[in-house]
């Protein structure tokens, strides 16, 4: 656990969101994708999942600059069924690919059967 030092200071969530978005845009992410990733990282920190928040930014920057992750991924649907989809994330950032996948998933597809089996 980190301890408070004389060099530490607090920044507002809005300031941190702007910083994260700007850093990710500087690595080549489009504005909307940078905002998606920044929002997820900020939410992680604000909800106590620090290992998924700002802590990850230096690693993400390295991976983006080295070409490990694609900042302008072309996310495509490879296969689709009434209730599932197989997504090709094109080496994009997981936050962006996951968001695209989640946006494909309706609460319950109208043409998919819902089966509820209970033991009696």
Residues 6+ apart with CB under 8 A from 56: 41
What are the structural domains of the chain? 13-104 (1.10.1530.10)
pLDDT of 75 higher than 90: yes
CA distance 54 to 96: 16
The label of the residue with tokens 């690693």 reads 59
pLDDT of 116 higher than 60: no
pLDDT of 13 higher than 80: yes
Q: What is the pLDDT of residues 26-57, one digit of tens each?
A: 999 999 999 999 999 999 999 999 899 999 99
Highest mean pLDDT among 49-53, 67-71, 80-84, 103-107: 67-71
Q: What is the pTM of this model?
A: 0.81
Evaluate whether 101 touches 87 at the Cβ level (below 8 Å): yes
């Amino acid at each position: 656990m980190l301890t408070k030092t004389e060099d530490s200071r607090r920044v507002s969530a809005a300031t941190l969101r702007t910083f994260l978005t700007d850093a990710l845009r500087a690595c080549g992410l489009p504005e909307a994708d940078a905002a998606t990733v920044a929002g997820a990282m900020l939410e992680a920190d604000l909800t106590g999942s620090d290992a998924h928040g700002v802590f990850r930014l230096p690693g993400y920057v390295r991976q983006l600059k080295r070409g490990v992750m694609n900042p302008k991924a072309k996310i495509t649907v490879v296969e689709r069924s009434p209730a599932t989809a197989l997504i090709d994330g094109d080496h994009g950032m997981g936050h962006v690919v996951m968001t695209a996948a989640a946006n494909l998933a309706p609460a319950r597809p109208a043409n998919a059967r819902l089966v509820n089996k209970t033991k009696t």
